[in-house]
Chain A
Amino acid sequence: MADFIIETEKGKWEIICGLEIHCQIISKSKIFSGASTEFGDDVNENVSFVDAGMPGMLPTLNQECVHQAIKTGLGLNAIINKYSEFSRKNYFYADLPQGYQITQFQYPIVGEGFIDIDLADGSTKRIRIERMHIEQDAGKSIHDIDPHKSFIDLNRAGVGLMEIVTKPDFRSPEEAGAFLRKLRSIVRYLGTCDGNMDEGSMRCDVNVSVRPFGSNEYRTRCEMKNVNSVKFVMQAIEVEAKRHVDVYENGGEICQETRQFDPVSLSTKVMRKKEFAHDYRYFPEPDLPPLILSDELINHIKDELIELPDAKKNRFVNQLGLTSYDAMVICENKEVAEFFEKASQGRDAKKVANWLMGDFFAMLKKKNLDINSSPVSPDNLGKLVDLITKDIISGKIAKDVFEIMSETSEDPEIIVEKNGWKQVTDTSAIETIVDSVIAANPDNVASYKAGKTNLLGWFVGQVIKQSQGKANPAIVNKLLREKL
């Protein structure tokens, strides 16, 4: 893997970065109340008295959120803690009606794990997970309606979150980006979080420090909260690391503080200094006894776990003969992987992969569609590959067929039939054209015979053109060689 080194006139520096990712748990109701988790409903409609922090209301833990957390933990190759506890994290903020967040502190539900990330040069790197705990989300504050007021919607208050904390294992923006994409892919496969960073259902806090290249010290880090896209996370790491280098090289010190990344100016500015940092005064949540999980439950969830991107990728490489890169691209998205499996069923998977990643992806991109609304069905894409493999149409005609398929969603066999595009493999029919091309171009024939053998391509082109693209190129080639 290529090292990401910040090199200045004065020296070389290395980035140390860790991430904290909040993932909204997919469940019908909230983690401690029976209100809906639906996004985009009318203001304050999905709020119960528990979510509103009314005195005397008691939280009751949603079983589905626990199951989703176990599933995610298993997807992170992590230890599932059979004993975990809820704690109160105390702070005052307008969108936190209880005055505290119910979270897990000392005893999280998920312990250490790891994710293997795929890097651009084809290598992989293991990123260690420190822990994952479950907690409740806060409400939403809207600051831009009125210059002097903030507006609070509690629909999100109490939605379940999984907070995943990594070890400080990232040494480059690329690694952090690859991790987020991999994590998003895993939670989407598992159906435990929809992973949409732009809608806030997956949010990332970034911790960055630097050290002289080659040393193994850890210097003071700064945290950037709620960076909301993979690209911004990568930019934030680079920008913040360069700021640290600049401060150190000018004899300054880095203070531990929370900073805000601004993607427009590509800079970070201080949000909260350490002396104003929150003092959360965690203590065990008195309203909820410890959460005890049975081996039976954990094993049951383990048994029902679906195939995850890494396992799928390995299967595609080892059993279907895809390259590691192709398999990685196809497996990143569960829907794409499913589409591919359907399309390649009983066919040359490598050829299907080429079509999928070439013309098919280009078509989706051009039409701005996701794969679920593709006009070309997996079955029809497979049939198109069959038509080529069986020499019924040429690769060139296939492109025209695909063009029509993506407009009309028709079966490629019918398109070929309707347009009379079946490749001519009848040697005598092709021979007639070959003869006429040779007869019509005596000059070129003479040049070819005199040694300009690269004219063969020109002859092939002429014959195929005259056959309206239907003559099988291999047969044309063979006949021309014989006759010239």
Chain B
Amino acid sequence: MAVDNETVRRIAFLARLKVEQEKLEDTQSEFNKILNWVEELGEVNTNNVEPLVSVNDEALSLRQDEITAGHISEEILKNAPAQEFGYFVVPKVVE
């Protein structure tokens, strides 16, 4: 499996990463190196092996429905680049 230039551009866009035009080639070859390396796994025979979702084989533990958090809006907003009236403020986003 190999990715082309366009795919690299698209993945960068989806991850909101800025990849300069001159870096695209490099990034593409890095992607392909990683993909080739992972492809080695294809050599392992996985017939009759259930897909493994997680290496953590603990069962999912459930929480009681209780209110144990909240009312920390000051701390929640502390890292926000901009805030007003208790809201996070961002450049206008309307689809």
Spell out A's residues near B (CB within 8 Å).
27-29, 33-36, 42-50, 52, 60-66, 85, 90, 92-94, 141-143, 146-154, 271-272, 279, 281, 284, 286, 288-292
Contacts and interface: CB of A to CB of B under 8 A. Distances in A.
B61 interface: yes
A36 B69 CA distance: 7
Contact of A45 (B14, B70, B93): B70
Contacts of B76: 44, 47, 49, 52, 154
B42 interface: no
Contacts of B67: 28-29, 34-36
A29 B68 contact: yes
A292 B61 CA distance: 10
A64 B60 contact: no
24 contacts: A28-B66, A29-B65, A29-B67, A29-B69, A42-B86, A43-B73, A43-B86, A44-B73, A44-B77, A44-B88, A60-B61, A61-B63, A64-B65, A66-B62, A92-B16, A94-B88, A142-B87, A149-B82, A149-B89, A149-B90, A288-B60, A289-B56, A290-B60, A292-B60
Nearest to B68: A34
B11 to A, nearest CB: 9
Interface string B46-86: 00000001101111111111111111110011000010111
B1 interface: no
A147 B92 CA distance: 8
Interface of A is mostly: loop
Nearest to A42: B86
B65 A47 contact: no
A150 B61 contact: no
Contacts of B86: 42-44, 153
Contacts of A36: 67, 70
Given A43-B85, A47-B76, A60 B92 contact: no
B95 interface: yes
Interface in B12-55: 14, 16, 53-54
B63 A60 contact: yes
B70 A284 contact: no
Given A150-B93, A154-B76, 6 more contacts: A43-B86, A62-B65, A64-B65, A94-B93, A279-B10, A289-B56
A435 to B, nearest CB: 75
Contacts of A66: 62
Contacts of B14: 90, 279, 281
Contact of B88 (A46, A85, A152, A290): A152
Contact of A63 (B53, B64, B68): B64
Contacts of A142: 87
A150 B66 CA distance: 32
Report the contact-size class of chain B (Cβ under 8 Å from the partner): 35 or more
A148 B94 CA distance: 10
A292 B93 contact: no
A447 B94 CA distance: 81
Contacts of A286: 54
A134 to B, nearest CB: 12
B39 to A, nearest CB: 18
Nearest to A64: B65
Contacts of A149: 82, 84, 89-92
Contacts of A94: 88, 90, 93
Given A27-B65, A29-B68, A291-B60, A151 B85 contact: yes
Contact of B69 (A48, A148, A292): A48
A94 B91 CA distance: 9
Give the 4 A-B CB pairs with smallest separation, nearest first: A34-B68, A64-B65, A48-B69, A151-B87
Contact of A29 (B66, B91, B93): B66
Contact of B95 (A27, A34, A271, A291): A271
B87 A28 contact: no
A61 B62 contact: yes
A284 B90 contact: no
A305 B10 CA distance: 49
B94 to A, nearest CB: 5
Nearest to A48: B69
Given A48-B70, A286-B54, A150 B60 contact: no
Q: Which of A36, A42, A150, A272 has the most CB of B within 10 A?
A: A150
B9 to A, nearest CB: 13
Contacts of B63: 29, 34, 60-63
B65 A63 contact: yes
B88 A35 contact: no
B62 A62 contact: yes
B93 to A, nearest CB: 5
Contacts of A49: 69, 72, 76
Nearest to A92: B16
Nearest to A97: B88
A34 B94 contact: no
Contacts of B88: 44, 94, 151-152, 154
Nearest to A91: B14
A192 B72 CA distance: 28
